[in-house]
A and B are shown apart, each in its own frame.
Chain A
Amino acid sequence: MEGTSDIKSVFWLGTSVMLFLAFALVFLVLFYQNHFIKMKRNEAETLLKTALDSEKEERQRIAKDLHDSVQGDLSAIRNFMVILEKQTKDQPTHSLVLETKNAIEKAIENTRTISSKLMPPLLETAGFSAALKDYLTQLSVLSGKEFLFKTDLVAVQLPATFSYELFRVAQEFCQNMLKHGHITQALFALYATTEGISLEIIDDGVAFDFKSAYQQSKGSGLHNIQSRIKSMKAELVQREVTVGNHFVIYLKLSL
């Protein structure tokens, strides 16, 4: 009788302990992996933020160097060329001097454009809306396509970090529209939402699925967009449309 009771006890105790240990192991592994993934994500986010910050700083530095140094030197050379142009007015070398002066003026203009593209001065002085509006106006002139901008956030200023990242995202979208989308018209609309702001990007170009294009893409454009969206902790939503593409970027902000 005692043996029977012993077997019963050992059986139920042993089975319970073994089952407990098996489930405990599974839950422990799941918990640890979850913790491990979070740690890795945090690490990746920090790395991404550092990379984007360094890129921004480097852009700022190059833009400043181009503006203060190269552009300054070129302006000085142009001034000399103006004097030289006057002095050689009736000489056979005059046309050559004139051509050189024009080339220098073109170089100054190009340097200014590059410097502005690297770090739009309006972004710091007038904010995101003004910088994007200016950029889209210039792009419309240069590309011959219609880039429109609408906003109800005239008086509101976005924080500097978000302004820069959002501007770069808009820039990447524009480059994609021109390079792959073959658009004729695009609209950028910036609105206030209950939780922050939303930037709608609508075009009439070649339709594409962002997610699958991002997974297949070997270039840096879509990856840049995704990285910046991630660094802002924003959300990119693609809406279904019959023609072209419609994206909305939701950014949580306390305005």
Chain B
Amino acid sequence: MASAATGAPLAAPPAAPLELDGVSFAYGRSKVLSDVSLRVAQGEFVAVVGSNGSGKTTLMKLGLGLLPAGSGHVRLFGEELSSFRAWWQVGYVPQRATASSTIPVSVEEVVVSGLAARTRLIRRRSPGEAARIDHVVELLGLEGLRRSRLSELSGGQQQRALIARALVTGPKLLVLDEPTTGVDAEARSVLRKSLQHLVEVEGMAVVYVSHDPEGFSGLAQRVVEVVGGRTPVDSGRSSLREVATG
């Protein structure tokens, strides 16, 4: 293919960080999602909303390979999920009220655990990795809490530590599932500023799953609503509906 004006070859458009194409999923005989498609482009902030049980979290778990899709295709950065290996490009913050840990774990250990897949035996942390750790700790306002026990922090501070863990590999796609659950106003403000920086400065694609629009209003370029939820096996169908951004 060539440009009509210059005759120069056209560069292929960058692969979408996340693409679900005609995906269906059921828990046993209970259909949750049926023929759902969603594409998130590089540098795009997409909010996924919907009522409780509508299938928002299931949709994201399908997109990240945590649940097997019954049908359809899931691609990360243009690659089928089954062959995708560059997981460092993906950051994920699961849904949770607080970070529970029976054994004490420090904020720094939580953040560094994000690098576990890239850690090799008897290999010191590279200067690049150390700098990245410092960067995300600073970005999320955790400088003074590095050695603190995670379980003794507030819900907002815990959530920021989990987001820092997701960011420590320098991902190009960040998926957050209900990130403001149990988080105070100050932490929400820090989170908003951090997300704004990630999208505008670092060009990251962000998928923000939430039933609460306060967390993403003014940030989301697209809002997608999951409609239908858990529906009867015979007639049920979930679908995605674009909603005007705030």
User: Do A and B belong to a common assembly?
Assistant: no
Binding site for A on B (CB under 8 A): none
Binding site for B on A (CB under 8 A): none
